[in-house]
Chains A and B, each alone.
Chain A
């Protein structure tokens, strides 16, 4: 790196974009892993095409991977991009409006030939690389396809296979540009292609060619370095939200001693949970791909009745279908967790886009008075603990629990200082003990303890034969009862049982800022990163702000009302039309300020900060 200077950067957001077949997800992932090894903090978000096999070269076929890393704490995958890697014209067209002014464009010129320009629907004859279109950016054009082919001239691979290596050229180049070495990628490739020597050789060669390209062409006078972030000591891994949910469920299964059952029907963006759990069979995980959403929920009810840690998973429209079965589980007072990986609604809505769409449905979306605990994850790594907590509450309070995540958390990734299994708390599953048959006192399946929790009586247990069902039950015996006073009593008891869970969850904490001030930014779910990021910036600018993020949405932590009353204003940003705001207003008669974005994409730091400042100033 003789003629280059090294410039220090505090944070960088890179977007890798190309055609679905260009390997941008892999490129992004490998660059991310390399970044993590260097001790940077980071967050990532993939951006897949909605179509399964969108036509090559077209705008709908663009696949992207966004990485935000830095030498400071990183809260979100980033707003706008410092760097855009565009492998073809469609990738540039899709992403250019999010590149920062003076940002860097790394462009594969071979993806801007006539055919590609036509497929990306640039007006006849117009090439965005010509003229002054890109004058506001630092543009590096490379013939990546040709360079890759040239460097693989002697390889026995066919042209198609050679072209597949071009993502390694980009990766090599970026590793050079950010002052890295290529070791971690070399190791990965050796493991992946160990038994395909020609492909391994080609990938390694292209990677190195890309790495040296920066050095040798002298076009690039600057490389960048991002120092280590002040991260807590310990062992880390990278984790995606859906993956974290699965590990949380397996951990809860082990810590409760209950076999894990997962009944589900494929639906975006929850399907990966089914795939992942299906690969955990050696943990005794029983996965059941049901015939529909209803059967998926019902199979979980049956498995819960049979003593498993029963889970069903879905996204918005599926939750609508599961409503009746969830109501049954609530009535039966069986433990069960319903995962709702939210997406843009209503109806089929925006399956591949994120939205905090279903808080109200989680709270109220069943017939009759059917209160249920609701727990929400706030980031990919937090999904582990939130899923574990949902299981704990379900099992220890004999109640179905709704777990909320969303597409942004599900597919996003961040470093996770993972726990040791020994440090995880035990979950106490309490089964009714067998009864001798000469014991004449009848078994009372709806007898309750001081927390209003009934016992779990497993079919097959001696002396406990009893009947349960969706009809209203008589207190204690569980026999069918149409008695008016009993119905009211049971409705109130089921509510009181859920309310009582507030005694078994942690108090609401303030995350950043003081315990009182001018503004509390209150959130739930995937707005966590952006809220923290904005709060952090406002605190640095001297504002009296704080943020709190609610995991336990029903019941709320006991101190929530008191905590909110210490601020002049409460701002609730949500990716919906104000669902938490509605609940807070209704429950506490507290006026709150809403900030809502309903565009299928996360709230950006810039827009939220701007809005918060307007309130503060």
Chain B
């Protein structure tokens, strides 16, 4: 188990902090995420010697240096593969994997796809700031079209990837979204991620105040967040709007935004959130409209757990096969292996 024994003095959030100077830019959204992660680990009663934080390369991937746990700052995009190897070697650790939109969806997109479909038990935090920070401001695979950056002076041409739709397409079993500027929600999502046995993917909208300031302002600003986002709760109707006056109704599999008062719709008639429903989750991931460019019907960006399906974790299946092989063939005998099936004597 990765938690402390009950008679141990519980750790505080600061016990998870290292003595290293945090080197993110002042005002970076990563500070808030770091604080919430340390707080949640303390709340969970984790034993810091049983925690491993694995990252790739990028601003967010500096994370392990600031966590007084085991950690590896690895190479660009490859954290999923490294974490998978570690998980197979050690099924007991609490493993947290840190990646970003460039690390996880560009150079490491392939590995993210495969760890999701394998359902290796660990928590992935994907810090999405829609920009390359560490290399100083090029557009990223989640940047909006026509993004003007140093590498795209006339505007970027490629369409942004939709990280959660990608995740469900890859066969992800736990998919959630939160943001740096809502500590309460972020903590709740970190708890949910940790509780899940399998690969939990938590996309965290994170502000890069140097190269892409305000990218998620519409979702994170107190004034506008309720109008642009929707906070999902299991078993609850999909309601949003500055005064909770709007909702989502399903017309077959077609979602509709309704005004509860004007359209005379009861909350009971709205789409009731069910984390276990893959089809609904797939529709929710497609709520991907640009809040700053609302032409026509606008679907609010969902936050919370979009999908949660119980499935056996990869390493559990792998170790079960080892046990089964021993049961069927007996424990391997090196001398028998050396000799093989057929031998002869030279006298």
Chain A window 385-424, contacts with chain B (Cβ cutoff 8 Å), 1 for yes, 0 for no: 0000000000000000000000000000000011111000
Instruction: Let me know if A281 is at the binding interface, CB within 8 A.
Output: yes
Known interface pairs A235-B344, A292-B110, A421-B334. Does A469 touch B49 (Cβ–Cβ under 8 Å)?
no
Known interface pairs A282-B331, A307-B89, A466-B70. Does A288 touch B343 (Cβ–Cβ under 8 Å)?
no
Known interface pairs A280-B332, A282-B332, A283-B332. Does A288 touch B338 (Cβ–Cβ under 8 Å)?
no
Chain B window 57-85, contacts with chain A (Cβ cutoff 8 Å), 1 for yes, 0 for no: 10000001101111111110010111111
A39 CA to B338 CA, complexed, in Å: 20
Of the stretches B130-138, B227-235, B318-326, the one at the interface is B318-326
Q: Is the CB of A295 within 8 A of B78?
A: yes
- Closest CB of chain A to B326's CB: distance in Å? 5
Instruction: Let me know if B93 is at the binding interface, CB within 8 A.
Output: yes
- The residue that B81 contacts in the complex, of A36, A239, A294, with Cβ under 8 A, is A294
Instruction: Let me know if B18 is at the binding interface, CB within 8 A.
Output: yes
- The residue that A254 contacts in the complex, of B88, B334, B343, with Cβ under 8 A, is B334
- B-chain residues with CB within 8 Å of residue A325 when the two chains form the complex: 75, 78
A119 CA to B338 CA, complexed, in Å: 44
Q: Is the CB of B325 within 8 A of A281?
A: yes
- The residue that A282 contacts in the complex, of B48, B72, B325, B343, with Cβ under 8 A, is B325
- A-chain residues with CB within 8 Å of residue B64 when the two chains form the complex: 467, 469
Known interface pairs A282-B326, A286-B88, A465-B69. Does A237 touch B334 (Cβ–Cβ under 8 Å)?
no
Instruction: Let me know if A290 is at the binding interface, CB within 8 A.
Output: yes
Instruction: Let me know if A310 is at the binding interface, CB within 8 A.
Output: yes
Known interface pairs A234-B346, A235-B345. Does A468 touch B318 (Cβ–Cβ under 8 Å)?
no
Instruction: Let me know if B154 is at the binding interface, CB within 8 A.
Output: no
- The residue that A298 contacts in the complex, of B82, B88, B342, B346, with Cβ under 8 A, is B82
Q: Is the CB of B111 within 8 A of A295?
A: yes
Within 357-387 of A, Cβ neighbours of B (below 8 Å) are at: none
Within 277-306 of A, Cβ neighbours of B (below 8 Å) are at: 280-286, 288, 290-292, 294-296, 298-306
Instruction: Let me know if A156 is at the binding interface, CB within 8 A.
Output: no
Q: Is the CB of B85 within 8 A of A288?
A: yes
Q: Is the CB of A467 within 8 A of B73?
A: yes
A281 CA to B324 CA, complexed, in Å: 9
Within 325-374 of A, Cβ neighbours of B (below 8 Å) are at: 325, 328, 332
- A-chain residues with CB within 8 Å of residue B90 when the two chains form the complex: 306-307, 458-460
- B-chain residues with CB within 8 Å of residue A231 when the two chains form the complex: 346
Q: Is the CB of B337 within 8 A of A250?
A: yes
Residue of A nearest to B61 (CB): A469
- Closest CB of chain B to A528's CB: distance in Å? 21
Which of B93, B318, B344 is packed against the most chain A CB atoms within 10 Å?
B344
- B-chain residues with CB within 8 Å of residue A122 when the two chains form the complex: none
24 chain-A/chain-B pairs, Cβ below 8 angstroms = A33-B342, A233-B346, A234-B346, A235-B345, A238-B340, A247-B338, A251-B334, A261-B88, A282-B330, A283-B334, A288-B88, A299-B81, A302-B83, A302-B87, A307-B90, A308-B88, A328-B74, A419-B338, A459-B50, A461-B49, A465-B68, A467-B64, A467-B71, A468-B71
Q: Which residues of B line the A interface, CB within 8 A?
A: 18, 20, 48-52, 54, 57, 64-65, 67-75, 78, 80-90, 92-93, 110-111, 113-114, 318, 321-322, 324-326, 328-332, 334-335, 337-340, 342-347
Q: A33-B342, A284-B332, A467-B67 are in contact. List 16 more A-B contacts (CB 8 A).
A: A39-B344, A235-B343, A282-B328, A282-B331, A295-B84, A295-B114, A299-B82, A302-B54, A302-B87, A304-B89, A306-B87, A417-B346, A419-B338, A460-B50, A467-B18, A467-B65
